[in-house]
């Protein structure tokens, strides 16, 4: 297993194979795989479909295609059953995150989701993410959990994305029409020819088909995330992954996830402020790869909000040393600069983060790169 942090998306066909509530038929093998990954030191985030299917038999409806309010009611009751079903397969605690596209588009909520995922993983908790179907309107919906999983992989800075469903991967032709169609083990470039291979879903409880899986893969690989489409109904698939094999279709990342993020931080984000650091903070950042604590901040200039990018300087030499995303606005950072992290709540009344800039949101600038 070459990945360190992975997002695993589980489709409705695996959570509720007969569309009549939750089932452990396929989930037991998936949960065993997640447990083995955790025992090997890997971090796993689960994106699970199935809330509507899980609640389908608990809400009265007279149509194979219920209305949107009816589906939202199904999701509301089904989400509880789905979470309970997942938790019974794990000895470690699970957590529930219900999000919408609006949450991911809003900078403050994006940071909150990112920080929540980070803390859950640090504490060995399995985050289970689903779209908040009961409140999401059309303009706020991601629309399918394949694309949601790709967005979660981005916000969590995962290096791998596993999309599990009841299909083996991408075929050259629809295998339901042509049983001789060949499975593509690796795709290095996603173009219209790849999308042309995607057939429509024949599962009435699913919101996506192969097309949405390819869309998700495209989002992920463009940001350096290795992506796999796998058949989660086949338990042997997970054994092959654990042995480093590829039992499905592998979409090759265009560049390393960390490299892609560092490049984005360094070359794409515009800095809206400047933070001067004391000698101890400079050494911690450069030599130890540490996060920036408020105690190491000497001076702040510029007006920025939480989530904005800022430049970091050595206060003594005025040398540009790093660039990162601030967890706080300049006003709040001015109030807690030079203070210990334990004093943040006393000063601000709350503590969104014990660090001013997390090491994952920072890139150190080499001397050779400074103009």
The pTM for the full model equals 0.78
| Residue 329 confidence (pLDDT) | 96
pLDDT band at 198 (very low <50, low <70, confident <90, very high): confident
Q: What is the pLDDT of residues 206-245, one digit of tens each?
A: 445 888 999 999 999 988 999 999 999 999 999 999 998 9
For the chain, give every domain's residue range.
5-260, 269-369
Structure tokens at 238: 């997970």
pLDDT at 129: 96
Please list the alpha-helical segments (H only) found in 205-320: 210-221, 236-242, 257-263, 279-288
pLDDT band at 58 (very low <50, low <70, confident <90, very high): confident
Choose which CATH entry (3.40.50.1100, 3.65.10.10, 3.40.1160.10, 3.20.20.70) describes domain 5-260.
Answer: 3.40.1160.10
200 in helix, strand or coil?
coil
Report in angstroms the alpha-carbon separations of 56 from 51, 71, 115.
8, 8, 33
Nearest Cα residue to 257 out of 216, 214, 219, 308: 219
What are the CA-CA distances from residue 172 to residues 123, 129, 187, 197, 214 (Å)?
Answer: 43, 31, 11, 6, 13
CATH number of 269-369: 2.30.130.10
Confidence category of residue 330, pLDDT binned at 50, 70, 90: very high
**Nearest alpha carbon to residue 34 among 48, 22, 16, 17:** 48
Tokens of 100: 């919408």
What pLDDT does residue 266 have? 79
CA–CA dist 166, 151 (Å, integer): 22
| Residues 293-323: tens digit of each pLDDT | 999 999 999 999 999 999 999 999 999 999 9
**224 vs 156, 175, 241, 297, CA distance in Å?**
13, 30, 19, 32
Report which DSSP code applies to 65. Answer: S
Q: How confident is the model at residue 174 (pLDDT cuts 50, 70, 90)?
A: confident
- pLDDT score recorded for residue 199: 61
pLDDT in tens, 85-106: 999 999 999 999 999 887 887 7
Do 242 and 6 form a contact (C-beta atoms < 8 A)? no
DSSP element (H, E) containing 230: strand 226-231
**Among 15, 37, 18, 55, residue whose Cα is nearest residue 164:** 15
Percent of the chain with pLDDT over 70: 91
């Amino acid at each position: 297993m070459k990945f360190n942090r992975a997002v695993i998306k589980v489709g409705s066909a695996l959570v509720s194979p007969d569309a009549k509530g939750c089932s452990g038929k396929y989930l037991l093998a998936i949960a065993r795989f997640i447990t083995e990954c955790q025992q090997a030191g890997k971090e796993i985030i689960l994106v699970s479909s199935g809330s509507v299917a899980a609640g389908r038999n608990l809400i009265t409806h007279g149509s194979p295609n219920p209305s949107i309010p009816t589906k939202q009611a199904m999701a509301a009751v089904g989400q509880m059953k789905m979470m309970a079903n997942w938790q019974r397969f794990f000895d470690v605690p699970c957590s529930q995150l219900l999000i919408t596209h609006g949450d991911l588009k809003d900078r403050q909520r994006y940071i909150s989701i990112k920080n929540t995922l980070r803390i859950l993983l640090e504490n060995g908790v399995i985050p289970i993410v689903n779209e908040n179907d009961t409140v999401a309107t059309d303009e706020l919906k991601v629309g399918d959990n394949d694309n949601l999983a790709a967005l979660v992989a981005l916000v969590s800075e995962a290096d791998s994305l596993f999309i599990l469903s009841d299909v083996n991967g991408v075929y050259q032709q629809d295998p339901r029409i042509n049983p001789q169609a060949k499975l593509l083990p690796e795709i290095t470039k996603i173009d219209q020819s790849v999308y042309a291979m995607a057939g429509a879903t024949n599962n009435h409880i699913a919101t996506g088909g192969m097309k949405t899986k390819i869309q998700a893969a495209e989002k992920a690989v463009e940001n350096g995330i290795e992506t796999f489409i796998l058949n989660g109904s086949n338990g042997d698939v997970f054994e092959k992954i654990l042995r480093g094999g590829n039992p499905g279709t592998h979409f090759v990342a265009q560049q390393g996830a960390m490299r892609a993020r560092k490049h984005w931080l360094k070359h794409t984000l515009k800095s809206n402020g400047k933070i001067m650091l004391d000698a101890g903070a400079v050494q911690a950042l450069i030599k130890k790869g540490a996060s920036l604590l408020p105690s190491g901040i000497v001076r702040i200039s510029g007006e920025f909000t939480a989530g904005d990018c800022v430049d970091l300087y050595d206060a003594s030499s005025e040398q540009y040393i790093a660039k990162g995303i601030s967890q706080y606005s300049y006003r709040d950072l001015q109030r807690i600069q030079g203070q210990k992290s334990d004093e943040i709540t006393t000063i601000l009344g709350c503590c969104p983060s014990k660090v001013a800039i997390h090491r994952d949101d920072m890139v150190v600038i080499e001397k050779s790169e400074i103009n």
